[in-house]
């Protein structure tokens, strides 16, 4: 499908991309987002939706998923489209504009902001062959709705932040929580490890270190028990389990973006202070960029987005100023004439 020509197309619906979409609308530019994931929010939605964030200006504390919801509301103000579940693989030039390509669609655009974060990412899968058929049928690699696990026997595999966060948060809600890790070294925040260890000591949570998934046993087509193998003793144990949550981190892939002729440093796009990539009309912002002093934070992603969009708008419409003026004073919001 070939979409209508737009002034600006943003790759990535993370916090940077969502704010860029709002900003484009504020500047009167027609815009759209294309994102590989099936939901907006980037790392916040995929990696830590239930974590509290404390360093976003104006929010003393905010759950990552709530910040995403606010960004979506703000971005939706101008009714610009967000195309989800599409990985951008190609960037071409033709007929005086740029064209982004996915497997199925073409997005012609007068300018582009790449807000692709750490790349299109997907959860790392359990390596055991016996796990593969159960993905989507009892093995779930993302927790989208914790309420779904109420009363379920849950097994979490992993030793990082997500594994420990969910082990702690599901304790008391799930019928049982079992945490499984191949070693006794954890990469999670110390306070969360201590909280889970307290749950284990009190008999509220089970922990199997030096164990790995060995076999899955089903009853009537649903997972009923998981057999774990002690990697040292080579013995196996069966544990009651309805749902397995592998929390093994994510693999991210910049894919085709690295072949678009921009200067890269360690998989980051080098930009100048105008967020220009070196390709005419192509800007970048957020975690994907590097420049002297760059910090990979939500706050700096917002700032990068504002700079990139104002530059892109001026590139497309040279008569429009780079400086946007103050939103508190713009006609687009029904305020005084700008
Ligand atoms: C556990 C954790 C906790 C954090 N806590 C904080 C915190 O407290 N405060 C803070 O400021 N920061 C925090 N961060 C960092 C923060 O999440 C990032 O700085 C922020 O997400 C960067 O936003 P972004 O929009 O630039 O990129 P991302 O959030 O990575 O979003 C990029 C989007 O681009 C999409 N994409 C990539 N490639 C393609 C492609 N080829 N085609 C289509 N779509 C593509 C991806 O699917 C993704 O949705 C934390 C990060 C983690 C992992």
Distance 298 CA to ligand 1 centre (A): 8
Strand pairing of 62-63 and 6-11? unpaired
Of ligand 1's atoms, which has the minimum distance to the CA of residue 48?
A: 1
Helix (H, G, I), strand (E, B) or coil at 114: strand
Spatial neighbors of 315 by CB under 8 A, at least 6 apart, are: 110, 111, 280, 281
- Which residues on neighbouring strands pair with residue 239, listed in sequence order? 226
End residue of a domain, out of 248, 273, 288: 248
C-alpha dihedral over 118, 123, 124, 130, to 10 degrees? -170
Q: Does residue 1 fall inside a structural domain?
A: no
Is the domain of 150 the same as that of 210? yes
The pick from 42, 113, 275 for probing ligand 1's pocket by mutation, whose C-beta has the most ligand atoms within 8 angstroms, reads: 42
Residues 116 and 256 in one domain: yes
CA 138 to the chain's CA centroid: 23
Q: What is the pLDDT of residues 197-207, one digit of tens each?
A: 999 999 999 99
Report the pLDDT value the prediction gives residue 21, as an integer from 0 to 100.
98
Atom of ligand 1 nearest to the CA of 44: 17
Q: Which among 223, 248, 273 is the end of a domain?
A: 248
Q: What is the mean pLDDT of residues 100-108?
A: 96
DSSP state of 10: E
What per-residue confidence (pLDDT) applies to 161?
A: 83
Total structural domains within the chain: 2
Alpha-carbon span 227 to 239, nearest angstrom: 6
With respect to residue 338, please indicate whether it lies within any of the assigned structural domains: no
Confidence of residue 250 (pLDDT cuts 50, 70, 90): confident
Best probe residue, ligand 1, of 298, 299, 306, 308 (max atoms within 8 Å of C-beta) = 298
Q: Compute the average pLDDT of residues 109-123.
A: 91
Return mean pLDDT, the chain.
94
Whole-angstrom CA distances from 235 to 27, 180, 206, 213 are 64, 15, 18, 12
What CA–CA distance (Å, rounded) separates 23 from 164? 37
Co-location of 112 and 257 in the same domain: yes
Q: Are residues 85 and 137 in the same domain?
A: no
Could you give the CA distance from residue 42 to residue 133 in angstroms, rounded to a whole number? 27
**Pair 200, 283 in one domain:** no
Ligand 1 atom nearest 51 alpha carbon: 3
User: Of all protein residues, whose CA lies closest to atom 8 belonging to ligand 1?
Assistant: 53
Distance 172 CA to ligand 1 centre (A): 30
Atom of ligand 1 nearest to the CA of 43: 29
Does residue 55 lie within any of the structural domains? yes
CA–centroid distance, residue 43 to ligand 1 (Å): 4
pLDDT value for 1: 92
Q: Given a cut of 90, is residue 101 above it in pLDDT?
A: yes
CATH code for position 107: 3.50.50.60
Q: Of 150, 175, 164, 214, whose CA–CA distance to 51 is shortest?
A: 164
- Asked if the model's pLDDT at residue 145 lies above 90, the reply is no
Residue 144 reports pLDDT greater than 80 = no
Check residue 162 and give its pLDDT.
Answer: 86
Residue 51 pLDDT: 85
Domain presence at residue 323: yes
- Concatenated DSSP letters for 205-255? SEEEETEEEEEEEEETTEEEEEEEEETTT--EEEEE-SEEEE---EEEE-G
pLDDT tens-digit map of 193-248:
999 999 999 999 999 999 999 999 999 999 999 999 999 999 999 999 999 999 99
Domain extent, residue 157, equals 125-248
Q: How confident is the model at residue 334 (pLDDT cuts 50, 70, 90)?
A: confident
Q: Are residues 225 and 265 in the same domain?
A: no
* 49 pLDDT higher than 90: no
Last residue of a domain, one of 224, 248, 272: 248
Identify whether residues 320 and 287 lie together within a single domain: yes
In this predicted structure, the answer to whether residue 338 has a pLDDT above a threshold of 60 is no
Q: Tell me, what's the pLDDT at 254?
A: 83
Provide the pLDDT confidence category of residue 335 given band limits of 50, 70 and 90: confident
Residues 327 and 295 in one domain: yes
CA 157 to chain centre: 20
Residues near ligand 1 (Cβ within 6 A): 11-17, 34-37, 42-44, 47-48, 53, 55, 87-88, 115-120, 161, 255, 257, 286-287, 296-299, 301
Confidence of residue 337 (pLDDT cuts 50, 70, 90): low
């Amino acid at each position: 499908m070939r979409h209508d020509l737009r002034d600006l197309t943003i790759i990535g619906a993370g916090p940077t991309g969502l704010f860029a979409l709002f900003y484009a609308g504020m500047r009167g530019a027609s815009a759209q987002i294309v994102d590989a994931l099936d939901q907006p929010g980037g790392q916040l939605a995929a990696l830590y939706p239930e974590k509290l964030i404390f360093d976003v200006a104006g929010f003393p504390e905010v759950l990552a998923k709530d910040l995403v919801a606010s960004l979506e509301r703000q971005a939706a103000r101008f009714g610009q489209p967000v195309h989800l579940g599409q990985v951008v693989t190609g960037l071409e030039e033709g007929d005086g504009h740029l064209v982004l390509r996915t497997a199925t669609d073409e997005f012609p655009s007068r300018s582009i902001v790449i807000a692709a974060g750490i790349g299109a990412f997907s959860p790392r899968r359990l390596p055991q062959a016996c796990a593969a058929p159960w993905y989507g049928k009892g093995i779930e690699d993302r927790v989208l709705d914790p309420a779904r696990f109420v009363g379920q026997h849950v097994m979490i595999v992993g030793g990082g932040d997500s594994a420990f966060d969910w082990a702690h948060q599901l304790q008391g809600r799930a019928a049982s929580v079992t945490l499984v890790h191949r070693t006794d070294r954890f990469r999670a925040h110390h306070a969360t490890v201590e909280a889970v260890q307290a749950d284990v000591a009190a008999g509220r949570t089970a922990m199997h270190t030096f164990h790995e998934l060995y076999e899955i046993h089903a009853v009537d087509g649903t997972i009923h028990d998981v057999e774990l193998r002690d990697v040292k003793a080579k013995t196996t144990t069966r544990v009651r389990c309805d749902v397995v949550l592998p929390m093994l981190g994510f693999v991210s892939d910049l894919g085709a973006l690295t072949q678009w002729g921009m200067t890269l440093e360690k998989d980051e796009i080098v930009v100048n202070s105008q967020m220009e990539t070196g390709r005419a009309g192509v800007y970048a912002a957020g975690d994907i960029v590097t420049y002297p002093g760059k910090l990979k934070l939500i706050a700096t992603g917002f700032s990068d987005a504002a700079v990139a969009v104002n530059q892109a708008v001026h590139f497309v419409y040279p008569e429009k100023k780079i400086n946007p003026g103050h939103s508190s004073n713009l006609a687009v919001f029904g305020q005084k004439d700008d």
